[in-house]
Structure 1
Amino acid sequence: MEVVSLVNGCSGNTAGKVIICKAAVAWGPGEPLVIEQVRVDPPQKMEVRVKILFTSICHTDLSAWKGENESQRAYPRIFGHEAVGIVESVGEGVTEVAAGDHVIPLFNGECGVCRCCKNPNTNSCEKLGVDPTKSTMILDGKTRFTTADERRQPIYHFLNTSTFSEFTVLDSACVVKIDSEAPIKKMTLLSCGLSTGVGAAWNTANVEAGSTVAIFGLGAVGLAVAEGARARGASKIIGVDVNPQKSIIGKQLGITDFINPRDSDKPVHEKIMEITDGGVDYSFECVGNLEVLRTAFLSTYIGYGTTIMLGIHTSPKLLPLHPMELFSGRKVVASVFGGFKGRTQLPHFAKQCMEGVVKLDEFITHELPFDKINDAFQLLMDGKSLRCLLQI
């Protein structure tokens, strides 16, 4: 098979050829990512090869890179799932997108034919839903990445996307076409963080005008929840975080009250009950901590309060709830990708973002070249960034 190298800026017709390009390869848990040459195979049947333009890092990438869940440890691996790009070529049978289309990768795919995809009450997909343990393509169980040296060592995929690469191959169910007039750099946010948070407020909770909200953890997802609640007209949006700096950016994105648990000996849920005369209508747990989840649950109003869980829980411990507590009327639900069906609903959400329904600029706190990806990881670990865009 013909090979074309893009590492030194070479270009031309690449369809049907192996591409040699740059990628950030993880060789082991917690090890610095290495920018090196990789081979990217052409897309096979019902697959798409995408030229990634911008990618960013979220806490799911961080926890996977750290190796916090042993079942996810497949190395070498190309992480990354939040990005935007242009279709380079498509495989046999692909009709939804074509070369040149602007697309967003979807870590939570939508095949459109399984029982879940046909059900309007879920955005799960039986074939290409979220599966951090999956590390190969669904067609043949093989990878489309290999090392560029003579070993041709397989490099594993991540979350259906693997966006820390100049080119990546995805199942066609894991890409969605967006308007070519959309600000492509900002559209990176829609492939994970912004959609997850705003969608949790809009789709999972269905926050109403005048309702009250508490958000535990003001990272990018938590702040996106706040922005979604603000856009829906929530009367009170309480942000909870141990980082006092989050109160500043939080107030730009709808937070009306800020609580730092370290500033008082009084339990956070009691403070929230005081502020809201008995509890909030909706609480959102965006940390991935069981104690925080329980506090979020206790912060909702008895009878109808709903807690939406967005944080990733890597611990094997079970929910900190007694079954009888649910008889009070309070509920706990989880939200994946904000309840959005990616290929069906994301184009409309992108248009809403273009129209200014929700803010985008405030979420992009840093921009770095791709070869500074380890610096971007450090910014996230230090709590200094919401989203650091990496231009590839």
Structure 2
Amino acid sequence: MEGQEVVANGNNNGSLKLKPSSSETRGKNIQCKAAVAYGPGEAFVLEQVIVHPPQKMEVRIKILYTSICHTDLGSWKAENEAQRAFPRIFGHEASGVVECVGEGVTEVKEGDIVVPIFNGECGECCYCKSWVTNMCERFGVNPMKKVMDSDGKTRFTTLEGKPIYHFLNTSTFSEYTVVDSACVVNIPPQLASSLKQLTLISCGVSTGVGAAWNSANVNAGSTVAVFGLGAVGLAVAEGARARGASKIIGVDINPDKFIKAQAMGITDFINPRDEEKPVNERIKEMTGGGVDYSFECAGNLDVLREAFLSAHEGWGLTVVLGIHSSPKLLPIHPMELFNGRRIIGSVFGGFKGKTQLPHFANECIHGVVNLDKFITHELPFEEINKAFDLLIAGKSLRCVLHL
């Protein structure tokens, strides 16, 4: 393809920059490879698409790495009818280099290394100006959104000019993507050599670790239960471990996950299928009445109830991270909240992306959180369908695709 190529800066500091090729691409259409989904659950089609230039307050990014999350899986399957917008380019965990910027963009420039984020931060709305929330009025997480905010159009089209829809403000299953500047995090250039690992802070690791640090504020010596030991659940465990939790109980129906979970901080493991009594009763026995913090990472209402009842009366906090596509409501009677237990939801781990993620990236690379433990597979981008098969089979935490 014509465009620009990513090369080492040559100054031994690990940074990256874009080296112009024979054809300047700034402000022009780019033809590149993308994985396009044409229907719910249909295999991804690797084909050439047109990526249009960024408009006002937009950024076009050359994607170097992207990974696959359960949110991609659920949305690709269109588990919620409202998600049925096809053809579509999925993907929301990635890292890359800024290829060009649209009018008005000042926070990033061509050649900067970045990660896109699905939960943006415009910095101007009342949500962004409040430190009580990490929501953004205009660019918050919205899995139903399928076009760009500025003009209601797509930046992807087929070679014949037909629109291809966006996903979660990011659409990273493409060699190039266009995102709103509110959804781009500038990564310190000294961390460029770790860009593959930093792909994971676009979603899963930030969501889990942040839930432990920001949403729950896990304290040293506290007890924790994590329901669902996928990547997000294990990131919660990693965050609780880093905070000095004394006991971290992992709950999952797959016993094979315990070996990996031990390396992430899980101290005890419960398989509900092996228990004769409800899991919450078992946890109460193990902890003297319940855990200080429970995290529901499975997206299952029955699991959510067990997580809630596992929290200690008087002060126990349950944090909901799982994606619940069912229209069913919370399985909690209002009077059950009068015994001191609390329940909250957490989006993107409570992180304000543009403001706080650069510091978190630095903490990860310096060992506070071990990102390498989450990468179980690496494949070329062309094998994206195989990567989805690994996730569906429960064999991978994060499979990183190299573009």
Task: Place the TM-score, normalised by the shorter chain, in its bin.
Answer: over 0.9
1:316 corresponds, among 317, 327, 335, to 327
Question: 2:113, 2:186 within 8 Å by CA — same for their partners in 1?
Answer: yes
Question: Within 1, Cα distance between the matches of 2:178 and 2:216?
Answer: 34
Task: Tell me, in whole angstroms, the C-alpha distance in 2 between the residues paired with 1:226 and 1:12.
Answer: 48
Q: Match for residue 70 of structure 1?
A: 81
Pick aligned residue for 1:152 from 145, 156, 161:
161
| Counterpart selection for 1:370 from 381, 390, 394 | 381
Report the CA distance shift for 1:11/1:362 in structure 2 as closer, same or farther (over 3 A).
farther
Matched-pair contact (CA < 8 Å) for 2:43–2:385: yes
CA contact (8 A) 1:6 1:19 kept: no
Asked if the contact 1:6–1:21 (Cα under 8 Å) also holds between the matched residues in 2, the reply is no
How do 1:331-342 and structure 2 match up within 5 A? Answer: 331-342=342-353
- 8 Å CA contact 1:27–1:75 kept in 2: the answer is yes
In 2 relative to 1, CA 11–137 (structure 1 residues): closer, same or farther, beyond 3 Å? farther
Separation in 2 of the partners of 1:238 and 1:13? 54
> Counterpart of 2:186?
177
How far, CA to CA, are the matches of 1:90 and 1:30 in structure 2? 34
Distance in structure 2 (CA, Å) of the matches to 1:312 and 1:24 = 24
User: Equivalent residue for 1:356?
Assistant: 367
Q: Name structure 2 gaps, 5 residues minimum.
A: 6-20
For residues 318 and 11 of structure 1, what CA distance do their matches in structure 2 show?
57
- 1:116-172 Cα offsets, whole Å, 9 max, x none, are 000001000000000000000000000000001xx3100000000000000000000
Aligned residues: 387
Matched, 1:284 2:295: yes
Q: CA deviation at 1:266?
A: 1.4
**Cα RMSD, aligned residues only:** 1.4
Q: In 1, Cα distance between the equivalents of 2:43 and 2:237? A: 33
Residue 20 of structure 2 is aligned to residue 20 of structure 1:
no
SS at match of 2:189: coil
| Percent of pairs with identical residues | 70
Q: What are the superposed Cα offsets for residues 176-196 of structure 1, whole Å, 9 maximum, x if unpaired?
A: 100122201000010000000
Give the deviation of 1:13 after TM superposition. 2.0
Gaps of 5+ in 1: none
Gap change, CA 1:51 and 1:191, over 3 Å in 2: same
Tell me the equivalent position of 1:98. 109
Residue of structure 2 equivalent to 1:88: 99
Provide the residue aligned with 1:387 in structure 2: 398
Partner residue of 1:198 out of 197, 205, 209? 209
Equivalent residue in structure 2 for 1:187, among 193, 198, 213: 198
In 1, Cα distance between the equivalents of 2:81 and 2:151?
A: 24
Task: Kindly indicate whether the alpha-carbon contact (under 8 Å) linking 1:137 and 1:143 is maintained by their aligned counterparts in 2.
Answer: yes
Residue 236 of structure 1 is matched in structure 2 by 247
2:218 to 197, 207, 220: 207
Mapped pair 1:140 → 2:151: yes
Instruction: Note the C-alpha offset of 1:69.
Output: 0.8
**One-letter identity of the residue aligned with 2:43:** P
Take 1:31 and 1:6, find their aligned partners in 2: how far apart are those partners?
Answer: 31
CA contact (8 A) 2:377 2:399 kept: yes
Following the alignment from structure 2 to structure 1, what is the Cα–Cα distance between the partners of residues 219 and 3?
53
1:5 CA drift (Å): 6.5
